[in-house]
Structure 1
């Protein structure tokens, strides 16, 4: 009897796994059960109920009565109504590889066909020349003291087209790819966060992007050439004192009315607004503005419509009624300030896209914010991670305590290994995320990128501060970490605060945009019950149940076989194949848990932010793991590369597993959470945090001139000036590499008492006399020691 039941479950699981059609699956399952009754008569107790269920499911009228209509009415009551703003946010943007991961069935052939981004000749030349020259001009300590970039830097940024990277060439812009924009911003940020933020805004959420996508031909001709040449400096007023991450709550109002402009009466808008925290506002010449549009007199032509919703317009900064020019102090000295408008009248044609785009601003903003999240702030985080790799890795080898390099202490290696893995991960994410932007504007991917990149930046900078210690906390021109540390809160809080992004956006948008049926089901549920609506919902419900059943079967198969036989991309090597199989397992687990959570909690899941955030973490970590595999496969193979990749992949899969287990342990229906945990992890945890051996291996590598260090160094600005904060550390490190053999022999002999001397000079002389080292080696050590001591000093000032 037990064997028969097991065989019946295997047949059911196989039918679900391969998504056999409902009718064919019913016939095959009943046939299998009938055969089993020939060997075990008690199986009739399974065959008869299964036959009854099959009849109900395959007979449309019965199915509607027994299943579809009750579920339809139950969900209509349970699901909260979807506002126009929520619908526009969900419909905005596109989906990409993250949809496959959420589905539980990643298509690895599709993934293998994704080619990494590459720079064009023009883009590479711009990085090698204009960006390099800009970085040579910058001095972040001087910028900090002056509270500005300096006139020469501003002129160079404008004349060389740094503010027009995204603008088409026909308007005088450079028309760079998303990957090129990211690389440009990272290189600038590795030198100056202030300069990077200054260059980011015109190329991110700003009038340029909005005009290109939605502007009228007249608006493009009026503004884009000036923006490309830097003659116009843009800013965008979205946030305010009571509307930050909840941009839909902006209180600023525009009333449609008639007024005077240039001596004539025209149809226009009367605006009143108060905006805060607007980057480039103090020096902007053109202001993009988001506000809520109202038409109380029906002047736009629709007498039945009064509230149009969020609308975007463009106006000169010196327009009457606009108050602009004062500054906030965000901790790093980029231009940031408030914009106030009192009784400002503008022509109706100043709406971006013209009057036809009235009320369409929310969708416009969501799409443009998504692109900004995928490029601007992740590029800042990537630059910080890579600078930390170079400087902290070098410093941990230069700095000695207890007669040993501090980077050799395992406690320090726990931090430096994470710094190394983080930099590797950020570069990998950058490539896959910017590649996704070539195919559209995937809002979920870019939300993942913004949240996880900036959080990794925070962790990397904090680790770096711990390792460098007193050398890092004293402000001055020698400090190579202070400005990144000051910049972390900016990256964390802007373009959607990280708490909101994690708690609401990644899974909230991810579930509805990436699930194959959920959004369509919700759309159907918003309609009044009717025959056509019920039939549409019935089709979706059957597919949804098949989707859930298939993923449940896949999850069980992967869990009990530890995903050993699950698919991987054709051509995957032994290293990658096993990681792809682990992703299959976690993807199926995510799909099942998401469906169960949505089915059990319904609309209440929107308020269960701790649960939804954990599902979002699983989804994000799987995307990060895919980016690591794609990045690793695109580089020259080698042990050093694999050590970095394995550590980072271990972190990603362990993070996904931890988030999923926390979700299941806190699921409100305890028995269901426990059941799902057994199905997903029947043998207990599959993944562990990086081992001590992995920590030691990567902690050693970050101090070495390994190929990954060289790769990451090629993505940032490494100054040759030995008086520069980063240049001083790099020069000292490179000098150490040249003398290290003699240095280590000398230190060993001195430590063992094989050479004598009360100070370095005396000991070196004795070491040469005893032929421990050569005179040439001693000269190199003297030079290095002078650099080493200078490298460890912090700045001091006559007065503060």
Structure 2
């Protein structure tokens, strides 16, 4: 980036930190207890310019470098707001880029400015109760009729599902074509035939709502199709690198935050007449966490550079997601261990870092699926999994 880009990045970094400290930190425990964040937060983030950081100005964005959005995700996670990080990743780092890259001018005009202002909250619905990451087994159907498309089916584990105003829905439009029969649709959640199940109760990320969504003969207009019919799987592969960069940013941020908490604790906590941090085991554990973070960041920055050049592949994304999500769980577990019994209490923030991290090896593609993607690239085989 140029000097002016560096200046813009520094400005955004300061603004992101201040916004989180002022608008999120004082209220986050309440939102965790309530299981949802208020819509007013999204509008505040929009007013601060944090929902369209790399969106073109014509759609209400700042036109900054996309890496600043990744920094926002990292900083949200570093401050211990894992639920917000996941919700933000879906809205600002996944759904908005889908619209920008694939949508028609009319679709962009309708949704993006409102999303940048925080007036419309976005979600994306791929996973199904009995299909998971296997897109070829998808049951949700969209069939043409005189008025456009008729949508039937259900999705599960949808982040922002309880509050979303618009959902990108993956549906089969050709049941005989496997993964090549998948199309994407922009679903206005105010339409008849759309409904939500009860909020799914999770072990972590409580402030981020997760829902099951239902489509019962939901009539969509013809222009609800996002991109070309039957190109859904190709679009998913096209956009996955950025989605998984977002997951990597969250992993790096949460590891940095957990390490900072742990360093403070082991310097003050005493056992057997010395600080916990003075034990060789503690020092070696902390050294290992620091080394992992720095190695992980090096590959993350490598992928950011490749993404900026349009060269980051789905295999690169799978390697990044696999390594950083597994590293995150392993290292935050190691940090919690140094807190002893206090680490298992809600009184100490390290416990939230721990439960919030656990989903990282599951969502956005499980570690097992990441290994399958990597292996198939080595063996020259195609994939029907995202």
TM-score (norm 1): 0.45
Q: Cα gap change, 1:245/1:166 in structure 2, threshold over 3 Å: closer, same or farther? A: farther
| Secondary structure of residue in 1 paired with 2:94 | coil
Residue among 330, 337, 341 paired with 2:211 = 337
Check if 1:507 corresponds to 2:375: yes
Q: For 1:339-738, list aligned pairs within 5 A.
A: 339-353=213-227, 357-374=228-245, 376-440=246-310, 441-476=312-347, 479-502=348-371, 504-512=372-380
Contact between 1:134 and 1:156, CA under 8 Å: does it hold in 2?
A: no
**RMSD (Å) for aligned C-alpha atoms:** 2.6
Q: Distance in 1 between matches of 2:5 and 2:275?
A: 39
Unaligned runs of 5+ in 1: 1-114, 259-265, 297-304, 513-518, 523-605, 607-800
| Secondary structure of residue in 1 paired with 2:199 | coil
Check if 1:212 corresponds to 2:81: no
Cα deviation, residue 290, structure 1: 0.5
Moved more, 310-319 or 126-135: 126-135
Aligned to 1:726: none
Q: Distance in 2 between matches of 1:133 and 1:223?
A: 24
Contact between 1:278 and 1:339, CA under 8 Å: does it hold in 2?
A: yes
Contact between 1:451 and 1:501, CA under 8 Å: does it hold in 2?
A: yes
Q: For 1:36-435, list aligned pairs within 5 A.
A: 120-139=6-25, 140-150=28-38, 152-191=40-79, 192-206=81-95, 208-258=96-146, 266=147, 268-294=148-174, 309-324=181-196, 326-330=198-202, 331-333=204-206, 334-353=208-227, 357-374=228-245, 376-435=246-305
Q: Distance in 1 between matches of 2:353 and 2:215?
A: 34
Contact between 2:251 and 2:328, CA under 8 Å: does it hold in 1?
A: yes
Q: Distance in 1 between matches of 2:315 and 2:4?
A: 23
Contact between 2:269 and 2:276, CA under 8 Å: does it hold in 1?
A: yes
Q: Distance in 1 between matches of 2:3 and 2:102?
A: 26
Contact between 2:151 and 2:217, CA under 8 Å: does it hold in 1?
A: yes
Q: Cα gap change, 1:510/1:173 in structure 2, threshold over 3 Å: closer, same or farther? A: farther
Aligned to 1:753: none
TM-score (norm 2): 0.90
Q: Distance in 1 between matches of 2:24 and 2:103?
A: 35
| Secondary structure of residue in 2 paired with 1:162 | coil
Cα deviation, residue 345, structure 1: 1.7
Contact between 1:385 and 1:426, CA under 8 Å: does it hold in 2?
A: no
Q: Distance in 2 between matches of 1:282 and 1:118?
A: 40
Q: Cα gap change, 1:373/1:151 in structure 2, threshold over 3 Å: closer, same or farther? A: closer
Cα deviation, residue 130, structure 1: 4.1
Aligned to 1:550: none
Q: Cα gap change, 1:428/1:287 in structure 2, threshold over 3 Å: closer, same or farther? A: same
Which string of whole-angstrom CA distances, capped at 9 and with x for unpartnered residues, describes residues 124-181 of structure 1?
2122024422233323323222323345533312322333234221111123323211
Unaligned runs of 5+ in 2: none
The structure that is strand-richer by fraction is: 2
Cα deviation, residue 116, structure 1: 11
| Secondary structure of residue in 2 paired with 1:424 | helix
Q: Distance in 1 between matches of 2:19 and 2:106?
A: 35
Moved more, 227-236 or 167-176: 167-176
Q: Distance in 1 between matches of 2:285 and 2:235?
A: 41
Which string of whole-angstrom CA distances, capped at 9 and with x for unpartnered residues, describes residues 668-690 of structure 1?
xxxxxxxxxxxxxxxxxxxxxxx
Higher Cα Rg: structure 1 or 2? Answer: 1
Q: Distance in 2 between matches of 1:162 and 1:273?
A: 33
Q: Distance in 1 between matches of 2:179 and 2:350?
A: 49
Contact between 1:256 and 1:294, CA under 8 Å: does it hold in 2?
A: no
Q: Cα gap change, 1:328/1:137 in structure 2, threshold over 3 Å: closer, same or farther? A: same
The structure that is helix-richer by fraction is: 1
